[in-house]
A = this chain, B = another copy of it.
Amino acid sequence: MSAGGPITVAESRAFVETFELEPTGAGPLDGLRFAVKDLIDIAGHETGCGNPSWRDTHPAATVNAVCVEQLLGAGGRCVGKTVTDELGLSLIGENHFYGTPLNPKAPDRVPGGSSSGSASAVACGLADFALGTDTGGSVRVPASNCGIWGLRPSHGLISVAGANSFAPTFDTVGILARSADVLARAASVLLAYEGLLGEAPRRVHLIREAFAIADPEVQKALEAPLQHFRGLFGERVCETSLMEISGEPEEMGLQAWYESYNVLQWAEIESSIGAWIAATKPTLGPTVAKSLALVKNLDRRQVTRAVQRRETYCRRLRTFLGPTDLLCLPTVPALPPLTDSKIHRVRLGSAYYPRALSLTSVAGLGRLPQVSLPLAEHAGVPVGVSLLAAYGRDAFLLGVAQRVAASMEG
């Protein structure tokens, strides 16, 4: 890094390309710069999805994705396209072809993925906010790793038209931002809501199993924000077991959510890109090749049962949460892995992946909005904490997040 000065685009390694798209209107994003994950269309550009074979076998976009159009129309200025993990299929942030965007708060650790470049661009100060996509954690994990704010919206509320879809019942367009205020401004445009609701949560449920599977340093780092929540929300903060929500016996726990998520995600990925893989035989990085082998070999007879479990979880979450209860989880149960740490060992040989997906699958299966708040750290390494609200309660959730942010400053 340039000694003491701002981080440059080259140093960030966050961008596939930089350019300037002028706003097409004025609004709440006046004066804000945003970057766009290279899984989302910009008119006249190829959308690479982090894989050169994908880029070379798909035509350039004729128009901006609907979400990009919304941001430009509300005053935002687009500054470029950012690196993504290959085909969006990783939570790590190391791309075999495009490299590893810088995590400026922990330069020896990965930024997280798959919205790696979007998180890096914001954390490096090269954009005020950025668009990512989040299927299994791809906004939330890099937000946590890079120490910034991240939103996965309720499923289906923000248009994914022009964003490549790999698992449509989980795919969302999300936002990474330098502050709660910028996050809320960008979200208010994409979700088309006005002003803040200002409602207080009825309960903030700390999910016992989710904190229990976190590494000791993550647990310890999160003590301060949880204490802060208790100060802010008083007796509304409570400990809740997942079994009170799922109605399943305790031993099933997060493992059952993880397994249901995996079956459905893999089934949808094969439906979305299996034919392209079979027909074009793309060049794949080693990690993605292994992931896609798992996808390919899924016994699809598991789908019927997995959908049943997912919809049961959804209905129970809806009843349990009502309009103003929140869930609270660690965003990620471990610190970001060190860079170049043999991804496939991290991914398949350790508990990192299943544990991370166990936590992110709650919002994924439940179609719930989730905000990752950058409120903690361990020896300087960022650790995020997450709040989740009921389906469709994104504006309420963002209002709570802003209230938390304001109280931290006060």
Measured CB to CB, the residues of A under 8 A from B are 24-25, 27, 41, 58-66, 69-70, 73-74, 155-157, 159-162, 165, 167-169, 189-193, 264, 267-268, 270-272, 274-279, 300-301, 303-305, 307-308, 310-312, 315, 318, 367, 391-392
Q: Which B residues touch A41, using CB under 8 A?
A: 271, 275
28 CB < 8 A contacts A-B: A24-B301, A25-B304, A27-B304, A41-B271, A41-B275, A59-B276, A59-B278, A61-B275, A63-B267, A65-B271, A66-B267, A66-B303, A69-B303, A70-B304, A73-B304, A155-B156, A156-B367, A159-B168, A160-B169, A161-B167, A161-B168, A161-B169, A161-B267, A161-B268, A190-B307, A191-B311, A193-B315, A318-B392
Query: 9 more A-B contacts (CB under 8 A) besides A159-B169, A192-B310?
Result: A25-B304, A70-B307, A161-B167, A161-B271, A161-B272, A191-B311, A192-B312, A318-B392, A391-B392
Which residues of B are found within 8 Å of A73, using beta-carbon distances?
A: 301, 303-305
Q: Please measure, in the bound complex, the distance between the C-alpha atom of A27 and the C-alpha atom of B304, giving whole angstroms.
A: 10
CB atoms of A311 and B192 under 8 A apart: yes
Residue contact B189 to A304, C-beta cutoff 8 Å:
yes
Q: A267 CA to B62 CA in the complex, in Å?
A: 11
Asked if B275 contacts A59 (CB within 8 A), the reply is yes
Contact yes or no, B165 A300, CB < 8 A? no
What B residues does A66 contact at CB under 8 A?
Answer: 264, 267-268, 271, 303, 307
Number of copies: 2
Indicate if the CB atoms of A59 and B279 lie closer than 8 Å. Answer: yes
B residues less than 8 Å from A303 (CB atoms): 66, 69-70, 73
Q: How far is the CB of A322 from chain B (nearest CB, A)?
A: 12
| Interface-centre pick from A61, A63, A169, A276 (highest chain B CB count, 10 A) | A63
Query: How far apart are A2's CB and chain B's nearest CB, in angstroms?
Result: 38
A226 CB, min distance to chain B CBs, angstroms: 32
Task: Report yes or no: A58 in contact with B161, Cβ–Cβ below 8 A.
Answer: no
Chain B residues contacting A279 (CB-CB under 8 Å) are: 59
With A192-B307, A311-B191 known as contacts, the answer to whether A62 contacts B156 (CB < 8 A) is no
CA distance A267 to B41 in the complex (A): 13
Chain B residue contacts of A160, Cβ below 8 A: 168-169
Residues of the B chain whose Cβ atoms lie less than 8 Å from the Cβ of A157 = 311
How many whole Å from A168's CB to the nearest CB in chain B? 5
Residue numbers in B under 8 Å from A311 (CB-CB): 157, 191-193
Cα A204 to Cα B336 in complex, Å, equals: 54
A63 touching B304, Cβ below 8 Å: no
A173 → B minimal CB distance (Å): 10
> In the bound complex, do residue A168 and residue B169 qualify as a contact, i.e. CB atoms below 8 Å apart?
no
Cα-based distance from A39 to B167 in the complex (angstroms): 17
Contacts of A318 in B (CB 8 A): 392
Chain B proximity of A384: nearest CB distance (Å): 26
Residues of B with C-beta under 8 A to A59: 275-276, 278-279
Q: Given A156-B367, A192-B310, A307-B70, does the pair A64, B161 have CB atoms closer than 8 Å? A: no
Complex: chain B residue closest to A74, CB-CB: B304
| Contact B60–A275 (Cβ < 8 Å) | yes
Which of A157, A169, A275 has the most C-beta atoms of chain B within 10 angstroms of its own C-beta?
A275
Residue of B nearest to A265 (CB): B161
Residues of B within 8 Å of A62, CB to CB, are: 270, 274-275, 277-278
Q: A318: nearest residue on chain B (CB-CB)?
A: B392
Q: Are A308 and B192 in contact (CB under 8 A)?
A: yes
Among B25, B155, B168, point to the contact of A301 (Cβ < 8 A): B25
- Which residues of B lie under 8 Å from residue A278 when comparing CB positions? 59, 62
> Is B192 a contact partner of A270 (Cβ separation < 8 A)?
no
Q: Which residues of B contact A60 (CB under 8 A)?
A: 275
Q: Which residue of B lies closest to A275 (CB)?
A: B59
Q: Which residue of B lies closest to A311 (CB)?
A: B192
